[in-house]
Amino acid sequence: MDVHVDDGNIEKALKILKRYMQREGILRDVKRKGFYEKPSEARRRKARDARKRRLKAERRKQRYARD
């Protein structure tokens, strides 16, 4: 991942970097891996995330089917 700094504007480059990291899910992974997660909790989290993705895909499918 590259962020170019123009005219020494580091604040703008940091803002862009944070946006890229959030979009890629890097910050979420760092926070999640900052502490130990029991295997049972990991399975529950993965199942919950899969359910969210499936419901989101169904909503998207229904929205485009109506149009």
Q: Give the pLDDT confidence of 7-31 residue by residue, as tens digits.
A: 888 999 999 999 999 999 898 888 8
The whole-number pLDDT of residue 3 equals 83
**Whole domain around residue 49: which residue ranges?**
37-67
Q: Verify that 46 and 66 share a domain, yes or no.
A: yes
Token pair 């399975």 in the structure block, residue:
43
**E strands present in 12-59:** none
Q: Verify that 26 and 56 share a domain, yes or no.
A: no
The whole-number pLDDT of residue 67 equals 61
- Cα angle value 32/17/19 (rounded, 5°): 70
Structural domains counted in the chain = 2
Q: Verify that 30 and 60 share a domain, yes or no.
A: no
- Cα 67 vs. chain centroid, distance in angstroms? 28
The whole-number pLDDT of residue 59 equals 93
Q: Verify that 10 and 22 share a domain, yes or no.
A: yes
Task: Kindly report, residue by residue over 32-62, the tens digit of the pLDDT.
Answer: 899 999 999 999 999 999 999 999 999 999 9
CA nearest 32: which of 45, 20, 19? 45
d(CA 24, CA 49): 16
The whole-number pLDDT of residue 60 equals 92
The whole-number pLDDT of residue 66 equals 74
Q: Verify that 52 and 62 share a domain, yes or no.
A: yes
Residue 8: DSSP 8-state: T
